[in-house]
Amino acid sequence: MSEGRSNKSALHQTAEQFHILVDSVEEYAIYMLDATGNVVTWNTGAQKIKGYTADEIIGKNFACFYTAEDVAADRPQRNLREAARQGHIRDQGPRIRKDGSIFQAEIVLTALRDNAGNVRSYSKVTRDVTDQIRSRELQAEKIAAEKANKAKDDFLAALSHELRTPLTPALAAAVYLENNASKLPSEFADDVKIIKRNVQLQARLIDDLLDLTRITRGKLQLHLEPVDANALVREAIEIAHSAIAAKKLNVSTELTAKKHHIQADPIRLQQVFWNLINNAVKFTSPGGQIEIRTFNDDCLQFHFEITDNGIGIERDRLPFLFTPFEQADPSVSRQFGGLGLGLAITKRLVDLHNGTIQADSRGRSFGATFKVTLSALPQGAQKPSTDSAVPKNTAKPLRILLVEDHRDTRHALSRLLTHFGHQVSAADTTQSAFKLIASRKFDVILCDIGLPDGSGYAVVSQAKQEWPIKAVAITGFGTDQDVRRCKAAGFDFHLVKPIDFHELEQVLDQVGA
């Protein structure tokens, strides 16, 4: 055998093997086109990706893989021309399978020339990248959604801060007027009550916004301890007392749970009960009926149930009740107000206590029932019960330094504190606060954090170097992180605007004790 012939047969063998190799590839469609774009060869991958058998497609023009728009735009032939000009091109775009379905393709089209340099054919490699593109899109969507969510949370936190600021002086002024009601013409007494009630309501809505952002950011920390859930229910009913009385509602209670101690955050669990009681009061007509029960089952569970005979809830709205910003019925919310956050917060608080909450109603005007189930502690695990109401000391007059740059807040707070019998000096900047600290002695400093020429942290650390003074932060920020920062900076207490004056009095009582 001559050398030339054996070379030729080796070459033939290699070409054969290459053909088999190409044919067996499944992930890529690898095929040849003639100079006009008609399909000449077809591998297993091509059949798998595009759905045609070799018999069905060989001889047809590759334009049939393109969408109608691409064909109308002459894209197949343009791609051939470009590949001929540049040697090869890469492209990505939609392609059509035999069954008409569309997939996203990534292609390489290479021009193959004869010895004279004329394009004789093209090789084409196509990969189906639909899944990769979809997962890239999903990833991008996820990142965009997370960003949007964070922006929304930041916005809500900033919004609630801004909204709180003007409420503090308004509430302080209303409380001051209420405390001096005897000096007012009697015809104004109701107006003062209206102002106070509505400012408090506004504060409550803002708190809801802030609570929701804290919960969704996972920033809400529960301070768990054994608590008497029956007592919390009683207190929550007591808080709603005036609203119940105003609507002449008939509230019956049957708090028969024997195992009524629960590992819970007392403030948050009371918020759960209060929210549900508040809704029942809100959505029941004057003279209506509310039944509140607690009981145990065989499995040591504590059950709280509240049933009203109010406006009820359409059955198809029940699944959405616990979704933030969802209200059962737009016409209801127009009439009753609210942000649709109460139940979302309630559900998340119950979740955080590893409990469950359920809503039920037979429909509009059939009333509603809400049920909360929590694990009760085994008997004996609870602390000896203490009265949760803080004993009220008679206020001891204190020397107070009030540092607050918001003029109305400074004015209203200082007048109210003076009215409570304290001696108040006020400063509106860190500099004026430093001067006062250097010139006289104070028992307590009530201090805003953001001041025009610095921060309240600096004022408190300076004051604490001078005297063993107690420091109370008064801020519009109520996040757990803010509270921690204040504690770290030396503040002993943290009150969030608008200040609850009952809470402020309690803090001052403790300072003076």
42/370 with CB nearer ligand ADP: 370
Q: Of the listed pieces 48-56, 135-143, 326-334, 399-407, which binds ligand ADP according to CB under 6 A?
A: 326-334
- 376 forms part of the interface with ligand ADP (CB under 6 A): no
Site for ligand ADP in 28-57 (CB under 6 A): none
Q: Give the distance from CA 447 to its chain's centroid.
A: 30
Question: Among residues 30, 32, 244, 368, which is the contact residue for ligand ADP, using CB under 6 A?
Answer: 368
342/476 with CB nearer ligand ADP: 342
Q: Is the separation of the CB atoms in 359 and 370 below 8 Å?
A: yes
In the complex, the smallest distance separating the C-beta of residue 215 from ligand ADP, rounded to whole angstroms, is: 13
168/361 with CB nearer ligand ADP: 361
The DSSP symbol for 219 reads -
Question: Among residues 212, 321, 403, 495, which is the contact residue for ligand ADP, using CB under 6 A?
Answer: 321
Site for ligand ADP in 270-309 (CB under 6 A): 279-280, 283, 308
Q: Of the listed pieces 135-143, 241-249, 322-330, 461-469, which binds ligand ADP according to CB under 6 A?
A: 322-330
Residues 6+ apart with CB under 8 A from 38: 59, 60, 61, 62
- 474 forms part of the interface with ligand ADP (CB under 6 A): no
- 327 forms part of the interface with ligand ADP (CB under 6 A): yes
| Pairing of β 119-128 and β 250-255 | unpaired
How many other C-beta atoms can be found within 10 angstroms of the C-beta atom of residue 49?
A: 21
Largest CA distance in the chain: 128
126/361 with CB nearer ligand ADP: 361
In the complex, the smallest distance separating the C-beta of residue 152 from ligand ADP, rounded to whole angstroms, is: 18
204/487 with CB nearer ligand ADP: 204
- Chain residue whose CB lies nearest ligand ADP: 338
Q: Is the separation of the CB atoms in 360 and 368 below 8 Å?
A: yes
In the complex, the smallest distance separating the C-beta of residue 369 from ligand ADP, rounded to whole angstroms, is: 8
Q: Name the H helices within 257-329.
A: 266-282
Q: Is the separation of the CB atoms in 376 and 300 below 8 Å?
A: yes
- 80 forms part of the interface with ligand ADP (CB under 6 A): no
The rounded distance, in Å, linking the Cα atoms of 102 and 100 is 6
Question: Among residues 32, 89, 231, 332, which is the contact residue for ligand ADP, using CB under 6 A?
Answer: 332
111/321 with CB nearer ligand ADP: 321
- 163 forms part of the interface with ligand ADP (CB under 6 A): no
Q: Is the separation of the CB atoms in 449 and 455 below 8 Å?
A: yes
The rounded distance, in Å, linking the Cα atoms of 213 and 207 is 10
SS3 178: helix
- 342 forms part of the interface with ligand ADP (CB under 6 A): yes
Question: Among residues 30, 311, 352, 449, which is the contact residue for ligand ADP, using CB under 6 A?
Answer: 311
3-state secondary structure labels for all residues of 156-167: HHHHHHHHHHHH
The rounded distance, in Å, linking the Cα atoms of 470 and 472 is 7
Question: Among residues 71, 108, 339, 458, which is the contact residue for ligand ADP, using CB under 6 A?
Answer: 339
- 341 forms part of the interface with ligand ADP (CB under 6 A): yes
342/456 with CB nearer ligand ADP: 342
Look up residue 391 and give its amino acid: P
How many other C-beta atoms can be found within 10 angstroms of the C-beta atom of residue 48?
A: 14
Q: Give the distance from CA 174 to its chain's centroid.
A: 33
Question: Among residues 175, 313, 357, 469, which is the contact residue for ligand ADP, using CB under 6 A?
Answer: 313
- 338 forms part of the interface with ligand ADP (CB under 6 A): yes
- 222 forms part of the interface with ligand ADP (CB under 6 A): no
313/412 with CB nearer ligand ADP: 313
Between vectors from CA 371 to CA 354 and to CA 224, what angle results, nearest 5°? 30
The rounded distance, in Å, linking the Cα atoms of 485 and 494 is 10
The DSSP symbol for 285 reads -
The rounded distance, in Å, linking the Cα atoms of 392 and 509 is 8
Between vectors from CA 479 to CA 497 and to CA 217, what angle results, nearest 5°? 140
In the complex, the smallest distance separating the C-beta of residue 286 from ligand ADP, rounded to whole angstroms, is: 15
Which positions lie near ligand ADP, rule CB under 6 A?
279-280, 283, 308, 310-313, 321, 327-329, 332-333, 338-344, 368
